[in-house]
Chains A and B, each alone.
Chain A
Amino acid sequence: MEHIRTPKILHSQISTIEKQATTATGCPLLIRCKNFQIIQLIIPQERDCHDVYISLIRLARPVKYEELYCFSFNPMLDKEEREQGWVLIDLSEEYTRMGLPNHYWQLSDVNRDYRVCDSYPTELYVPKSATAHIIVGSSKFRSRRRFPVLSYYYKDNHASICRSSQPLSGFSARCLEDEQMLQAIRKANPGSDFVYVVDTRPKLNAMANRAAGKGYENEDNYSNIKFQFIGIENIHVMRNSLQKMLEVCELKSPSMSDFLWGLENSGWLRHIKAIMDAGIFIAKAVSEEGASVLVHCSDGWDRTAQVCSVASLLLDPHYRTLKGFMVLIEKDWISFGHKFNHRYGNLDGDPKEISPVIDQFIECVWQLMEQFPCAFEFNERFLIHIQHHIYSCQFGNFLCNSQKERRELKIQERTYSLWAHLWKNRADYLNPLFRADHSQTQGTLHLPTTPCNFMYKFWSGMYNRFEKGMQPRQSVTDYLMAVKEETQQLEEELEALEERLEKIQKVQLNCTKVKSKQSEPSKHSGFSTSDNSIANTPQDYSGNMKSFPSRSPSQGDEDSALILTQDNLKSSDPDLSANSDQESGVEDLSCRSPSGGEHAPSEDSGKDRDSDEAVFLTA
């Protein structure tokens, strides 16, 4: 039995609701959530169950943005605080940090009022030599008019990562302005005489697009480009892959083979590797070859966002900090029109549009954190909470499909920003191993030239995160954070003691008597690293025995194998099992727990005052 806090699920987290066959105890409702939580409700009366089912189905599929939680969520901040929250992450500041505008790149106002492309932001950086004429011409030759713009500029060598959608090349069409646009991107990088064009799709998919008048760049038409397919599958493949992997996670006491076979069969880690490979390729092209790269897929808002942000993360240590990571998501995902509403199903829509695109990016970051444990300022919890809020709709950041829609909805005036919330609680999200002057935090992250498959691992901290029993019972991160916190206090105390000592010595010299207060000796007796909500009890270790015949020994059959179940374990010796709380396996007696460690900060934190809004689902 796991002790969990009263389950509280946001409607927006509900992915599927399943009514299961009625049993003696009642009607079970199985609710699967987008943050990988699974909850079963047993409702005694079938009619009530049906009512709940119908209401939940309706509530989980809002049709208007105004129904979403963020429009009623109120963290008791005043207007000014809310506005401050929204300016915490400022993209124009970010472009300045990159060193823009400069001799080669300028801010273009061509998309003012979203005139050229309605899924792009208004503020866009383009090569100086790209005139409005070229841009507009190029935009007409690109899917959804998503013409090539700057995503990341690498100060050190002027190389850049640009992004767009696929060209409408069909089998033979060409567009002079689009060719000029790529030429301009190349010229903006005097260090290199070519540009990589990376099509992140599998070649077959790209070719199929040609029949629909879309496709990919013909190397003969564009001078000085090197064209490259990467082979990341489309959103439908990814959706099915996640589905299959989650089925594996859901298996009741699977064998090792069931698990590994299912994991392989889902293809999930292969897809993660494909995204990583693309990011690594681009980071290498930029940092080692000094070449600029234009990245696109079909529409340039899914795979392109994944790949550009992975590459930027590898290249620039700033994105590996707490704030930098927020900036990265703000830039490559939110501002460039990643369709959050469609992909994560915030409003009722086409289920075929739903796909775990940003989930995959978040996992890529985790995979990197596993390999470079000192390189990131934030910890795993940070990633998990961001993932949670992409689906929660508690904050306005991830609403809608584009900047244009968000402005029309006046999101910033009506909702709160997640970034401010995370920033306020940043102590919970810090990686204790991060040190700004550590070699791992400098420059580009170098992965092995032939990335090995075994580098990519199953992330149980994400996909099985609600099964606390499966996670390590002691958190090294929390332990180290508590040590660091104590270290800081010790530093302060040391300073104070030195001061006082000096004073007393001086005073003694003056033969004056001073009454000093006895300092409270600070107790140093261990850090709680346990999540106290987990009672560490033995699992059903005999579960595998169900295949053996179960016969009672009283029947006198001497070959009968015994089945030792949890039930008879519990009943046989009440005295011992009564003590189970003391047996939590991890000491919970220690005097100081890491900040928030008593209960690991919940992703729902901040919505304590709104119980009327959140549904209480009590299992």
Chain B
Amino acid sequence: MSLYPELSFNVDHGYLEGLVRGLKAGILTRSDYHNLAQCDTLEDMKLHLQSTDYGSLLTAGNEDLTVSLIDHRLKENILTEFRCLRSHSLPPLSTFLDYITYSYMIDNVVMLITGALKQRDVAELLPRCHPLGMFDQMAAVGIARTPAELYSAILVDTPLALFFQDAVSEANLDEMGAEIIRNKLYKAYLEAFYKFCQESGGATKNIMCPILEFEADRRAFIITVNSFGTDLSGVGRSALYPSCGRLYPEGLRLLARAEDYEQVKAVADYYPDYKLIFDEPEAGSSRTLEDRFFEREVKLNTLAFLEQFHLGVFYSYLKLKEQEARNIIWIAECVTQRQKSKIDNYIPIF
């Protein structure tokens, strides 16, 4: 690591950073959302999106316009942009971008395992995997019977092998086990990514660490909330909490002991940022806890664009774009299901 990474940053990543900042300018604004929310049919939405950076994304092809088609096109769009960035990138940016894809790979693996447990056909499952997390050996995941087999036979060649050390066990795979594998993998993944960002230093560290800390804490909260009513014990839970968040170590210990939602809320009260999230929303707003977490995430990600010469913009851009896709899908769903009252529940970005 050189003394002033800003000096040489543009040599390797200047073009891509410029590109991603240009792409960021195409993210839909509040007025775009406002216009979209006024639409009565998907055709109207299509007309509106035409005047944005999406251009003729939805007009190509003459299939009937459905929400799933929009979803598919949006995902494809993100994928194209990401592939373009990835194929032009140099280390350390390429490693950084690979790290981003690992989280999707984890999700895909777990989805394939649960799919295989339910005796689904692989050919039916594959198209439902997130395209950013595709890898060669993916198709064979369903064959494995135990996590150990999964690791030693299939995932050992993939980048995910690094995260697998804690998750190896001889127990048979079941649905609960798959969930636990997901969380263990995620824990290892987040910690590794956090370490990578910390080692990068400079602005990358300043930007990415808060985002990843938040991500880790969000997982800890959600694991805790979701574990109520299952047979996952406090000890079992604490093995799943990522240890790179702001909750570590005291907050995590408290969370492990929590028995109901009120106690989780009490833990969050110690942290001003999370207190805001857990506070009762004002009357009339129908935001769920998840929505408020997303809102906070969007806020953190928009901050990334305030600094230059760091890799965080790539992560943030991808996440914001995903949020945008979620927003558009939400609006589209509301439009097709005639739920105009809920249409404003999207999370505006800029």
Q: Do A and B make up one complex?
A: no
Using a CB–CB distance below 8 Å, which chain B residues touch chain A? none
